[in-house]
Amino acid sequence: MPAAAIGPPDLGDRAECAPGIRLLASPAAGRSDGTSRLPLGPMSATPSATTDAREEYDPEALQEKWLGVWDELAPFRSGRPDDDRPRKYVLDMFPYPSGDLHMGHAEAYALGDVLARYWVQRGFNVLHPIGWDAFGLPAENAAIKRGEDPRAWTYENIATQKASMRRYGCSFDWDRVLNTCDPDYYRWNQWFFLRMFERGLAYRKASSVNWCPSCQTVLANEQVVGGLCERCDSVVTKKKLTQWYLRITDYADRLLDDMALLEGQWPDKVLQMQRNWIGRSTGAEVQFAIEGRDEPVTVYTTRPDTLFGATFFVVAADSDLAAELAAGTPAQAEFEAYLAATKRETDIDRLASDRPKTGVFLHRHAVNPVNGAPLPVYASDYVLADYGTGAIMAVPAQDQRDWDFATTFGLPIVRTVTPPEDFDGEAYVGDGPAMNSGFLDGLHKAEAIEAIIGWLEERGSGRAAVNYRLRDWLISRQRFWGTPIPIIHCPVDGEVPVPDEQLPVELPDAEGLDLTPKGASPLGALDAWSVVDCPRCGGPARRDPDTMDTFVDSSWYFLRYLDPKRTDGPFDPAEANAWLPVDQYVGGVTHAILHLLYARFFTKVIHDLGMLDAVEPFTRLLNQGMVVMDGSAMSKSRGNLVRLSDELAVHGVDAIRLTMVFAGPPEDDIDWADVSPAGSKKFLARAWRLAGDVTSAPGTDPAGGDLALRRVTHRSIHDAARALEDYRFNVAVAKAMELVNAARKAIDSGVGPADPAVREAAEAVAIILSLVAPYTAEEMWARLGHEPSVALAGWPAVDEALLVQESVTCVVQIAGKVRERLEVAPDITEAALRALALATPAAQAALGGREPRAVIVRAPKLVNVVPA
């Protein structure tokens, strides 16, 4: 299916409107308070006098009625040239098109939609786009299974999801849709790759990589979860391969330091996870001479102050250095057997806790630079080849791992940090005065570190150093359904970039290609695609057969939304500077490390290319929780799967959206067994009836209306707004419920349906509900005699005077216990309130004529009388 077939629904020219639909002016432009009122056109319908008891709230009918109207109105198109509203960019993580939307999508998109719609109501020009993260293995696996091109499966699912999103009432700007598997999109992945290649940020190297034997492809460290492939849960093994990397480690410091900009705006948990993942540590590099070797070996340590306590030396068993040191020694055979055994071990084995230390003595010795002591050299798998230098000085007294190794192999242990007197552990890693350490003796950790680094630097045998847990990002994948790497391998010129004007390097048709995983990219087997002339020398050459990790696609997609059809660049820098950074990003915490770190990295690279002012892509981040069932994640095999389409059919779109939003704090998981979509529907019907009961005419001035109800209305609007801006969506909904209850009471047993305050309340309910339950709100708005769309009605202005209570209840405490209540004016003075409180019978009885020990007055809400 061609890409055009899945483009945005043709919504027609905005000027051609359905009969009866009147277009509205941009609501809030030019209003300084960010609020607005719709100009009230002539009534399109006479409001019903009272709700007909036989009338029923029918969500299905409302959905049918309003979808077409919204298609015509397109209330959420953004970025038009004549739009002078202030801008806001609200971004939802784009979905992978793996089938229809599920409950998780429903939650995430409901929350994002509430935020986007809220800012529209507040008078902002909100960019709220959507697209599809459309490359990836599931499409390829489905293609293999069905013997089809992955394109067909992918575009079918995109069409399904898109229709579902429209029906779900998402306020997306459908003019900006993008799919990462379109050549128009991935062309720019290739373009960015080439910019990085030019700057040395994309490079190829041979190293031991994570290999998924089932997916038959390499994996980034980030895609290995607990030793298993993130996608298929196969046990990941190691393989030595030459692969493409992006030099994210060059940005480690900036990725860490710029988190200061995100503090308080992103969840602390996510920032902490990123910090841990980058894992910056400071310490020193120390050179150790090796007997019988010309070059010294450098080790990295965070504790150079413990150098006098080094009693042996360990190199990573799978490092080149280990093999070199073992060669020709009596230990060679033993070492080789050990190495072979190590390689058979998977990450799973390595994860076992309390795993005994193993290793091989290499019959070589290193020399401790501080005292000339010979240190036996061991090879062991407890030292990692790819962290630091792959070799360590072992200080068993101050490192538990070294302690374990030392006790296993009978090696000496020398304390060089004095532990506290009550210390009864093994290795002591805390602070304390140095001992057995020559000129360091008596110094505490920080001073000792400084002293020893100075000493090493003077002698040229060491220096201060920083290390990171973060590794460079391995992006090569031996699979078909991804962005081809735009490099041509020429026997003469080596790695030759594809010239920009030849981009995109398009994926060939999968027709006739065997996509079955076999350890090499299927593209390489296709000579018609692979064999090309070298752009430099014109000689025969081959394209790089691999495709990029799909995380490349999602690392910059938020920039492409600005103009997804642009052909002269990935985006327009001027436009990007007008919209970026994204004001609000909404998505799952599952991407707390991978996607967010890569997107931050790309943003910094793009900044360095001079194309973007921003250094961070996402200002605020909201991580929604999961939707679970009966306490555990939904899955077919567990038999607790709840189908979104079923829920929508039974309760309606609005009730499901409301249930998601009202369930609790957005970052908490929702157990579908604990919430009540039927209750949500009941509330929506109650709100909807309210609109039918109003008998005053649209435009009626609320000023003469019932003061008590007006106070509730304005208080509700005010509180709801504050709750929404703090992500307390459930509280905002509760405020709307309170307002509905108050209005109901006013109609049935109070001032009656004709009071202007009743209309004001009903309109406020409609506007607040327009964020959560767009169909119901739109219908309410129409029943109240207004033109669509309520989505653009503008957030109601709050009258501050109505927030002030006529009287407030003051509690009188005796020794901290509430004993009396007083109705007082809100502006009562402390002195007056104190006198009132002391005069109460409770206070008089408690004091019994004596002077109180203390009287705490917090006017106008509380007085605490403390008897002597």
Name the pairing type of β-strands 391-394 and 237-246: unpaired
Amino acid making up residue 794? G
Smallest gap, in angstroms, from Cβ of residue 745 to RNA?
A: 5
Residues 336-355 that bind RNA (CB under 7 A): 350-351, 353, 355
Smallest gap, in angstroms, from Cβ of residue 740 to RNA?
A: 7
Smallest gap, in angstroms, from Cβ of residue 146 to RNA?
A: 32
Nearer to RNA, 339 or 490 (CB): 339
Count of residues that bind RNA according to CB under 7 A: 82
Smallest gap, in angstroms, from Cβ of residue 760 to RNA?
A: 19
Kindly calculate the radius of gyration of the chain based on its CA atoms and give it in whole angstroms. 34
Q: Which residue of 730, 751, 797, 802 would you call a contact of RNA, by CB under 7 A?
A: 730
Residues 379-398 that bind RNA (CB under 7 A): 381-384, 387-388, 390, 392, 395
Smallest gap, in angstroms, from Cβ of residue 301 to RNA?
A: 3
By CB under 7 A, residue 657 contacts RNA: no
Smallest gap, in angstroms, from Cβ of residue 801 to RNA?
A: 20
By CB under 7 A, residue 689 contacts RNA: yes
For residue 664, report the phi and psi dihedrals to the nearest 5 degrees. Answer: 165, -165
Nearer to RNA, 60 or 533 (CB): 60
For the CA atoms of 278, 280, 286, 290, the dihedral, rounded to the nearest 10 degrees, stands at -20
Return the HEC string of 392-456.
Answer: EEECHHHCHHHHHHHHHHCCCCCCCECCCCCCCCCCCCCCCCECCCHHHCCCCHHHHHHHHHHHH
By CB under 7 A, residue 265 contacts RNA: no
Nearer to RNA, 266 or 662 (CB): 662
| 3-state class (DSSP) for residue 12 | coil
By CB under 7 A, residue 679 contacts RNA: yes
Return the HEC string of 275-338.
Answer: HHHHCCEEEEEEEEEECCCCCCEEEEECCHHHHHHCCEEEEECCCHHHHHHHCCCCCHHHHHHH
Nearest to 482 by CA among 519, 508, 518, 516: 508
Smallest gap, in angstroms, from Cβ of residue 16 to RNA?
A: 40
Smallest gap, in angstroms, from Cβ of residue 856 to RNA?
A: 4
Q: Which residue of 813, 834, 840, 859 would you call a contact of RNA, by CB under 7 A?
A: 813
| Contact stretch for RNA (CB under 7 A) within 210-218, 296-304, 457-465, 824-832 | 296-304
- Residues paired with residue 417 on neighbouring β-strands, in sequence order: 434
Nearer to RNA, 469 or 638 (CB): 469
Omega into 59 within 30° of 0, i.e. cis?
Answer: no
Token digits of residue 602: 């790309």
- Residues paired with residue 541 on neighbouring β-strands, in sequence order: 532
Q: Which residue of 87, 167, 401, 489 would you call a contact of RNA, by CB under 7 A?
A: 401
Q: Which residue of 811, 832, 836, 838 would you call a contact of RNA, by CB under 7 A?
A: 811
Smallest gap, in angstroms, from Cβ of residue 722 to RNA?
A: 8
Q: Which residue of 399, 544, 755, 760 would you call a contact of RNA, by CB under 7 A?
A: 399
By CB under 7 A, residue 713 contacts RNA: no
Smallest gap, in angstroms, from Cβ of residue 649 to RNA?
A: 13
Q: Which residue of 26, 738, 838, 847 would you call a contact of RNA, by CB under 7 A?
A: 738
By CB under 7 A, residue 638 contacts RNA: no
Residues 441-470 that bind RNA (CB under 7 A): 467, 469
By CB under 7 A, residue 316 contacts RNA: yes
Residues 272-291 that bind RNA (CB under 7 A): 272-273, 276-277, 279, 281, 283
Smallest gap, in angstroms, from Cβ of residue 391 to RNA?
A: 8
Asked if residues 785 and 45 have their Cβ atoms less than 8 Å apart, the reply is: yes
By CB under 7 A, residue 862 contacts RNA: yes
Residues 769-808 that bind RNA (CB under 7 A): none
Q: Which residue of 25, 225, 531, 578 would you call a contact of RNA, by CB under 7 A?
A: 225
Q: Which residue of 514, 674, 701, 830 would you call a contact of RNA, by CB under 7 A?
A: 674
Nearest to 40 by CA among 812, 700, 733, 854: 700
By CB under 7 A, residue 499 contacts RNA: no
By CB under 7 A, residue 815 contacts RNA: yes
Nearer to RNA, 455 or 683 (CB): 683
Asked if residues 577 and 87 have their Cβ atoms less than 8 Å apart, the reply is: no
Pairwise CA distance, residues 812 & 834, whole Å: 10
Residue position matching structure tokens 């939609």: 113
Smallest gap, in angstroms, from Cβ of residue 131 to RNA?
A: 26
By CB under 7 A, residue 199 contacts RNA: no
Which helix (H) or strand (E) element contains residue 707?
Answer: helix 707-725
DSSP string, 220-234: -GGGEETTEETTT-P
| 3-state class (DSSP) for residue 201 | coil
Q: Which residue of 668, 701, 725, 806 would you call a contact of RNA, by CB under 7 A?
A: 668
Nearer to RNA, 341 or 384 (CB): 384
Name the pairing type of β-strands 297-301 and 224-225: unpaired
Pairwise CA distance, residues 647 & 651, whole Å: 6
Omega into 97 within 30° of 0, i.e. cis?
Answer: no
Residues 467-486 that bind RNA (CB under 7 A): 467, 469
Residues 110-169 that bind RNA (CB under 7 A): none
Residues 590-609 that bind RNA (CB under 7 A): 593
Q: Which residue of 228, 734, 797, 802 would you call a contact of RNA, by CB under 7 A?
A: 734
DSSP string, 68-116: HHHHHH-TT----TT--SPEEEEEEPPPP-SSS--HHHHHHHHHHHHHH
